[in-house]
């Protein structure tokens, strides 16, 4: 299923998040968040007659792009807020990123996750001495618990996507891409809560409105895709997916990412589970990298011709993270090797 989203040419957002905010984020996080490589994929480029690159966001210390937004948000807290600590709700990657950023600052963190979060991500969070709380059947339940902790203990909530500093932090990915590939034609990334593509889309569309921004989600439980179709934020039922990082709602009171995705993302595609697994297998076979389903979904979509690739175009696919259980990865890819 494909949803085409009318893209505005206006260079600001209703939330007043600007490209300048992204540049400010880049300056602030540069001492902690290192630039990730942009890798040319020779095999897939040859297959489609285009230049296709992979942005290796799985190489962050936290194992996922979420580290950018988490560091930017936490490093801008007041001294009083730092003294009390932070909390967040997460499908795993953002929780780990917040826990890691908090540990680097020596502040308390309490991470709330749902029962759907894989063991690898839970173990990773525990390894940082963060307080971990498993609560409810989905991210919406974990979110409610976070705001309860905010009221009861004064912890500052660092949302996984719908927050100006988080969005600006993720937008630094686009600055790096443009530095390495100024002539880019299209960027493809996972679409869940929308923080990733809100930040990237903001930068890309302000640089050149003709740069395509494409979102990909799993077929079932894609909250942003359902919300775009409905014309407003809606809740969806979460179902198990190999792309578990893309699970979770966007919040019925969404303040930023829903409108930014409508403004800056051109199309949204729903991708079958088997296609996602093919992407994981391809990246392991051709690039020798082990990544989670959400990181491979864009590659799988292109391989199965679910996203059209124009000949001679320059396309960047965001490889978003590597936090996947080893048995899950092995079982997912074995039939495609």
CATH number at residue 60: 3.40.50.1100
Rounded Cα gap, residues 179 and 190, in angstroms: 22
Q: DSSP readout, 86-144?
A: EEEEESSHHHHHHHHHHHHHT--EEEEE-TTS-HHHHHHHHTTT-EEEE-SSSHHHHHH
Contacts of 78 (CB under 8 A, 6+ apart): none
Which pLDDT value is given to residue 7?
A: 41
Q: DSSP readout, 66-95?
A: HHHHHHHHHTTS-HHHHHH-EEEEESSHHH
Q: Which of 268, 265, 315 is nearest to 8 (CA)?
A: 265
Burial status of residue 104 (CB atoms within 10 A of its CB: 0-12, 13-18, 19 or more) = middle
Which pLDDT value is given to residue 9?
A: 37
- From residue 37, how far is each of 216, 290, 324 by CA, in Å? 22, 16, 21
Rounded Cα gap, residues 312 and 290, in angstroms: 28
Q: Which of 335, 175, 189 is nearest to 261 (CA)?
A: 189
- One domain for residues 239 and 279: yes
- One domain for residues 172 and 229: yes
- One domain for residues 115 and 263: no
Domain boundary among 157, 183, 218: 157
Q: Is 181 helix (H, G, I), strand (E, B) or coil?
A: coil
Residues of the chain under the 50 pLDDT cut: 4-13
Pair 241, 220: CB distance under 8 Å: yes
Burial status of residue 63 (CB atoms within 10 A of its CB: 0-12, 13-18, 19 or more) = buried
Which pLDDT value is given to residue 282?
A: 97
Check the CA dihedral 198-321-112-142 and report its sign. positive
Which pLDDT value is given to residue 89?
A: 86
- One domain for residues 314 and 194: yes
Q: CA Rg, the chain, in Å? A: 18
Which pLDDT value is given to residue 206?
A: 97
Domain boundary among 132, 157, 182: 157
- One domain for residues 110 and 211: no
- One domain for residues 87 and 167: no
- One domain for residues 253 and 232: yes
State which residues form the domain around 70. Answer: 66-157
Contacts of 275 (CB under 8 A, 6+ apart): 297, 300, 301, 303, 304, 306
- One domain for residues 60 and 207: yes
Which pLDDT value is given to residue 6?
A: 42
- One domain for residues 325 and 303: yes
- One domain for residues 106 and 123: yes
Structure tokens at 225: 């895709």
Rounded Cα gap, residues 269 and 280, in angstroms: 18
Which pLDDT value is given to residue 15?
A: 60
The strand pair at 86-90 and 156-157 is best described as parallel
Number of domains into which the chain is organized:
2
Render pLDDT for 201-251 as a digit per residue (tens, 0 to 9).
999 999 999 999 999 999 999 999 999 999 999 988 888 899 988 988 898
- One domain for residues 196 and 281: yes
- One domain for residues 39 and 167: yes
Pair 192, 161: CB distance under 8 Å: yes
Pair 3, 229: CB distance under 8 Å: yes
Q: DSSP readout, 140-179?
A: HHHHHHHHHHHHHH-PEE--SSSSHHHHHHHHHHHHHHHH
Which pLDDT value is given to residue 124?
A: 81
Structure tokens at 217: 């989600």
Which pLDDT value is given to residue 2?
A: 56
**What is the separation of C-alpha 272 from the centre of its chain, rounded to a whole number of angstroms?**
19
Rounded Cα gap, residues 224 and 21, in angstroms: 24
Which pLDDT value is given to residue 8?
A: 38
Rounded Cα gap, residues 212 and 331, in angstroms: 34
Structure tokens at 93: 């990657």
Domain boundary among 126, 157, 188: 157
């Amino acid at each position: 299923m494909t949803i085409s989203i009318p893209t505005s040419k206006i260079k600001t957002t209703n939330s007043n998040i600007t490209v300048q905010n992204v540049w400010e984020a880049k300056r602030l996080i540069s001492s902690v968040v290192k630039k990730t490589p942009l890798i040319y994929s020779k095999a897939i480029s040859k297959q489609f007659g285009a230049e296709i690159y992979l942005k290796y966001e799985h190489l962050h210390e936290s194992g996922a792009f979420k580290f950018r937004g988490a560091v930017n948000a936490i490093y801008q807290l007041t001294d009083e807020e730092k003294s009390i600590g932070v909390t967040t709700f997460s499908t795993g990657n953002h929780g780990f990123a917040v826990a890691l950023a908090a540990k680097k600052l020596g502040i308390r963190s309490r991470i709330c996750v749902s029962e759907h979060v894989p063991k690898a991500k839970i173990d990773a969070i525990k390894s940082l001495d963060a307080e971990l709380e498993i609560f409810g059947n989905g991210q919406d339940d974990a979110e409610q618990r976070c705001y309860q902790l905010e009221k009861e203990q004064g912890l500052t909530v660092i949302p996984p996507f719908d927050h100006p500093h988080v969005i600006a932090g993720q937008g630094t990915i686009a600055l790096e891409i443009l530095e390495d590939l100024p002539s880019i034609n299209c960027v493809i990334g996972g679409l869940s809560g929308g923080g990733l593509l809100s930040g990237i889309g903001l930068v890309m569309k302000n640089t050149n409105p003709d740069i395509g921004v494409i979102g990909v989600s799993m077929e079932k439980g894609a909250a942003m895709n359902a919300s775009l179709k409905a014309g407003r934020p809606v809740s969806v039922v979460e179902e198990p997916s190999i792309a578990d990082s893309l699970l979770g709602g966007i919040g019925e009171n969404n303040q930023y990412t829903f409108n930014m995705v409508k403004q800056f993302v051109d199309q949204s595609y729903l991708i079958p589970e088997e296609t996602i697994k093919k992407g994981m297998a391809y990246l392991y076979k051709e690039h020798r990298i082990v990544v989670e389903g959400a990181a491979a979904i864009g590659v799988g979509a292109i391989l199965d011709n679910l996203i059209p690739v124009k000949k001679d175009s320059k396309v960047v696919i965001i490889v978003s993270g590597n936090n996947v259980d080893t048995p899950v990865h092995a079982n997912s890819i074995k039939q495609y090797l």
